[in-house]
Structures are given as C-alpha cells and as structure tokens.
Amino acid sequence: MLGAMAEALLIVDFQNDFCPGGALEVPEGAAIAGRVAELAGTGRFDPVVATRDWHPPDHGSFREQGGRWPVHCVQGTPGAELHPSLDRSQVDVVLDKGTDPHTDGYSGFDGTALAELLRDRSVDAVTVCGLATDVCVRHTALEALQEGFAVTLDEAGSRGLDPRDIERTFAEVRERGGRVA
C-alpha cells in the first residue's frame, strides 16, 4: 500500500508487580489484558515490543535508596515478569529498562536501543499502551514524539496511578502532537 506508515505497538511494563497483588499495584492494572491482546493480535503492528522495568536490587528509585517507589520489578523475580495474560508469541521484542541503578528508566527509550530498533524496521508511528499511564507510559509516549514518531496513546490499553495525572498526561501528549484514542 503506497504511503502506508509502518507502525509498532509498544506495550509498556505490563508486569506482575504493577498488577493486583504486586509490589507497586496500579489500580485495575490487569484490566488492560483484553485490550492489549486485541491490539497485539491485529497483525497491524510490526514490531510488537514489550518493555519491562528490570531493576537491580539497589535501584535508585526505591525508597530504601532514597527514591519515591517501593521495591518493584527486581531482575529475575516473579514480579518483574510480564503479566501471564500477555501472549508472548505475539511479542517480537522484550526490552528491559531501568537496569542502571542511577537512572529512573521511565521511558522505553531510556538506556535501550528502542529508537534504533524502530528506525531499522522503518517504523514511523507507534501506539503506546501499558502501565502506568502517568509514569512510564507517559515518558515513553513523550519521548517517542521527541524522537519524531507519530504517537497514539491507547487509553483503553492503559491504566495509571493518579486520575489527575492521567488527565494531565493525555493533555500533554495531545499538546505535543500525539493522539489519545
């Protein structure tokens, strides 16, 4: 199809620690499972990328290290694994972020090869979903815009921590030229 944009799906941090019973539970975090499966199964996206918080035990974002968050998504723990509802056969690439104890790693682009991966596949548009809307989804969507990608933040495929911050995230994505759908 002439002029068609190559589009990637970025599933941000759909991990056990951000779902019910996890160390840093996002309200209704597991409720995105159906929408994420629907998006990943459309065949519309190439590639489908899942990011993971993959923190060392002494990560600087942890309260014990002076950060703002409880210990979560520690490398190799069950809490750091992708949510079991995510069909791994539909995920082309799993990218770990937040592996450096001295950087937050909020964005899927932070300290990873995500931008290069997308450019190598001639991707010019991304749809972003996952957890949490007002933290890692926000940072990933805004950095994708900064990198020059067309961005759609999928509202149904995302959940966040603070309703006011979620609305601010949607406004900020729109203000910077992205879409919220």
Which amino acids are annotated catalytic?
13, 97, 136
DSSP string, 41-95: TTS--SSEEEEEE-B-TT-TTBGGGT-SB-S--BTTSGGGSBPTTS-GGG-SEEE
Q: Give the number of other CB atoms < 10 A from CB of residue 94.
A: 14
C-alpha separations of 19 from 6, 29, 158 in Å: 31, 5, 12
CB-based burial label for 125 (10 Å; 0-12, 13-18, 19+): middle
